[in-house]
Structure 1
Amino acid sequence: MSGSSGRVLVVDDSEVIRHLIRVNLELEGFEVVTAADGAECLDIVHAVQPDVITLDVVMPRLDGLRTAARLRADPVTSGLPIAIVSACTQLDLERGESVGVDAYLGKPFEPMELIALVRRLSEARSTAARSEFRSE
């Protein structure tokens, strides 16, 4: 992990939302890398090696749920914690569950809710990584 709290890949087509999420997470010690849509996320995820990914649902080129499905299908990224940060419909929640999304945060959100969610996912990933290391 490069940042003291971990690295987060924030994927949202809104520059304003990406900036808002970045600032709030950086204030809590996270290193943040952003992407403007799912296609860009898939282009950079291997180089970035994030601890957590946040995805908006509605984005151009490749939406968040299709991005999540592709991340889950890739053996290198299949275990990454994924949070949907979006104004979700019930159908979005069901589709997200079917592709293995770990958590949801509805827009608009409180910054402290975002931080708590990302911290929880990051810590869960760290704990799982330590357990895998011990079992080898």
Structure 2
Amino acid sequence: MSVGEGRAGDRSLGRVLVVDDDEVIRQLIAVNLQLEGFEVATAVDGRDCLDKVAEVAPDVITLDVMMPRLDGWVTAVRLREDAATRDIRVVMITARAQDHDVRRGHEIGVDAYITKPFDPNELIRTVRELAGAGRMST
């Protein structure tokens, strides 16, 4: 499952489940978030995500759209339909950048939509915001 800790000695900013069938992209996202201080677990597709979500208990899920077995659209819908997972924040990270794709993501309850190629700083900023890391000092 590849669960990583945040920076040594730092309190975790939250738990993220990174879901992408492309190993390079999956690891790129995971490493960027780990370096920022998030605990990270990974999944290779939507079915793997749904199998791991209860064990990982993520604050945020990053989700690719185009994956084998179970794509990101169906995965997001299933996450929203399940009372145990409907409140987990979901970030779509995908090459599908057309307006109707973004609209579809928001219609099914996706919290943020980032297009590939993505800026790692935008990804970190979005995940921090959704995980509530920016409000921890209250």
Pairwise TM-score range, normalised by the shorter structure: 0.7 to 0.9
Match of 2:113 among 104, 118, 130: 104
How many residues of Structure 1 are paired with residues of Structure 2 in the alignment? 127
Distance 1:111 1:62 in 2: 25
Gaps of 5+ in 1: 128-136
Instruction: Indicate the residue corresponding to 1:132 in structure 2.
Output: none
TM-score where L is the length of structure 1: 0.87
Residue by residue, what CA displacement relative to the aligned partner does 1:85-108 show, whole Å, maximum 9, x if unpaired?
111232321221111000011100
Q: Which runs of 4+ in 1 moved over 4 A?
A: none
Instruction: Indicate the residue corresponding to 2:33 in structure 1.
Output: 25
Instruction: Indicate the residue corresponding to 2:66 in structure 1.
Output: 58
How do residues 1-136 of structure 1 correspond to structure 2 at under 5 angstroms? 4-88=12-96, 89-123=98-132
Distance 2:21 2:108 in 1: 21
Opposite residue 117 of structure 1, the aligned amino acid is T
TM-score where L is the length of structure 2: 0.86
Distance 2:49 2:100 in 1: 23
Aligned-pair RMSD on alpha carbons? 1.9
Higher helix share: 1
Opposite residue 77 of structure 1, the aligned amino acid is T
Q: SS state of the match for residue 66, structure 2?
A: coil
Gaps of 5+ in 2: 7-11
Distance 1:113 1:97 in 2: 18
Residue identity (%): 60
